[in-house]
Amino acid sequence: MSLWLRSVPRLRAAFLPASASRLALGDRRVLREEPRQRTYLLRRTLSSGGVKWLWPIDKESLSFHLVHKHGTRMGLYLMTLSSVNPLKTEDVERALFHLQRKNPAMRVGFRLRGNVWWFCEQDWKTHKVDFKILNEGTSSAEEIRRMCEKGFPDGATWKFRMIPRGKEAPSVMSEVKEDFPYQYNIIVTSHHALSDGLSASLIAKQMVELLNDVILGRHINDEATSQFIQREELWEVESRIIKKLEEDPQRHDYVKQTMPLSTPLLLQAFPRPSVDQVTTRYLSRIIDEDVTQKFVKQCKSHGVTINSAFSAVINIAIVSLMQKSGISQQSYQIAGNHIVSMLRYLKRTPRDAIGGYAVLLSHISRMTNDHANNFWEYAKEINRELKESLTSELPLEQKMARLLAQPDLVEEWARKPPPVVHDYGITNIGHFPMPERHLDDRVLVTDVASVAMVHNYIHMLLFLVYTFKGRCSFTLSYATDYIADDTATLLADEVISVYRKVSEVNGI
């Protein structure tokens, strides 16, 4: 059984010694700790020796910190910027300086205080963002691998890389090529304890806005544009969920039954490859704007979300590959892992809070040939099930049920993750946030891809879905010890094929 985002309510978190090999946080004395205990200690800000101590890190953040050292659980955005003139290094650095100044999470690092890990605020005047300009022609895929290999050493919790593409490189947006002839690949990543996918996308958007401001000499005010706060409300919610499951054994049993335990279906037809070095590879697909709009129209007419419909597309594609490989069954059980935001359950937490607010929802779909032949009815079934799960707080219940079932062995898990039990993961940020266009802009975002490192993790493959410039795009990140390159390509192409078919008609 896998254990992903494992925050323990009111961990007070702390006090997590760096040397602890077993962080057995399932102890009920910890789980039942009163919400108000140690509040003063964690809320005060301390300073000593030039370090501004914030509060001890919670267990969930520590789990991110440990596995990042193994080069996994990291998310990245790969953007293409097109500019009127060649970009100057000092302009980009100045934009990042303002970005760090206006967003507290970009100044936060991790340090030991005694034998306990703490969040600490770094001096933004002297501690610069980790930014490098690389040589033209540098492989973005290879640079992403290098950025992720060692995690975030030396307090560098945000990383930015810029790769010139050359004036002659083709542009995805050919209509702006003449006015914006210079192109650059920008890679953005951050520590997952400080930023989830949505937060990182907003930071990437603001970076482009500030770069335009710097180039044009606009005034940039001192106003902060986000907050980095303790997740006390989340701990309170999780404490309530723990108590609910302990007092309602029937509900607890039901929650456990909603999480898969079996080998992923896809591996029956496509056995795991043998590799010398485990890593993550990825491939991206872009769907034409007209097909995207037809798909969106179908979703609206059938009353389903785009995420539910896309999940149905993936399920149909997996079953199609199974059948093409010669495996035919009366029904199929497909387990999806949906990444959703915990902010939907938090009422007091401000919407501009930046941090790790993602949680997983396991969803098991039992699919028959009737479902495949009546796609939109199947999509409505998935939409209903996902909506009920989100409304009932099932993602948090699953998270706490995993915690109750298995003591948290953070460092052991980082060394040897549990076997994968889901067929796929999916995260959908919707429309990628774009800067508002101005007539005098000197820099535009002309392309974007979302990438995640999933090897030695709970996913064997993860679909990262988003809409950019009216076109649906997705990246398929896959672990090389579970999925072969050919299998990943077959699946991505089958997803495109199913997506196109269901966009045209009311059923397959």
pLDDT of res. 185: 97
Whether 478 shows a pLDDT value over 50: the answer reads yes
At position 286, the amino acid (one-letter code) is: I
Whether 5 shows a pLDDT value over 60: the answer reads no
Q: Mean pLDDT in the chain? A: 86
99: Cβ contacts below 8 Å, ≥ 6 apart: 106, 129, 203, 206, 207, 210
178: Cβ contacts below 8 Å, ≥ 6 apart: none
Whether 296 shows a pLDDT value over 50: the answer reads yes
More confident residue, 94 or 166: 94
pLDDT of res. 6: 29
Q: Are 171 and 446 in contact (CB under 8 A)?
A: yes
Helix (H) or strand (E) holding 448: strand 443-452
In tens, the pLDDT along 255-295 reads 999 999 989 999 999 999 999 989 999 999 999 999 999 99
Q: How confident is the model at residue 435 (pLDDT cuts 50, 70, 90)?
A: confident
Q: Specify the CATH number of the domain 1-434+445-508.
A: 3.30.559.30
Q: Which residues pair with 476 in a beta bridge?
A: 283, 463
CA 33 from chain centre, in angstroms, equals 30
Mean pLDDT of 172-191: 93
Give the pair of three-digit tokens for residue 312.
């149905």
Q: Which residues pair with 360 in a beta bridge?
A: 339
More confident residue, 49 or 11: 49
Instruction: Tell me the H-state helices in 84-191.
Output: 89-102, 140-149
More confident residue, 411 or 307: 307
Q: Are 488 and 494 in contact (CB under 8 A)?
A: no
pLDDT of res. 211: 98
Q: How confident is the model at residue 43 (pLDDT cuts 50, 70, 90)?
A: very low
More confident residue, 32 or 106: 106
Q: How confident is the model at residue 70 (pLDDT cuts 50, 70, 90)?
A: confident
Name the least confident of 52-56, 362-366, 482-486: 52-56
Mean pLDDT of 180-203: 93
Q: Are 449 and 78 in contact (CB under 8 A)?
A: yes
Whether 74 shows a pLDDT value over 50: the answer reads yes
Whether 1 shows a pLDDT value over 90: the answer reads no
The residue assigned the tokens 């796609």 is 375
pLDDT of res. 23: 33
pLDDT of res. 407: 59
In tens, the pLDDT along 381-410 reads 999 999 999 999 999 999 999 888 875 656
pLDDT of res. 221: 94
Task: Please state the domain extents for the chain.
Answer: 1-434+445-508
Mean pLDDT of 179-199: 94
Whether 216 shows a pLDDT value over 70: the answer reads yes
More confident residue, 59 or 15: 59
**pTM exceeding the 0.85 threshold for the entire prediction:** yes
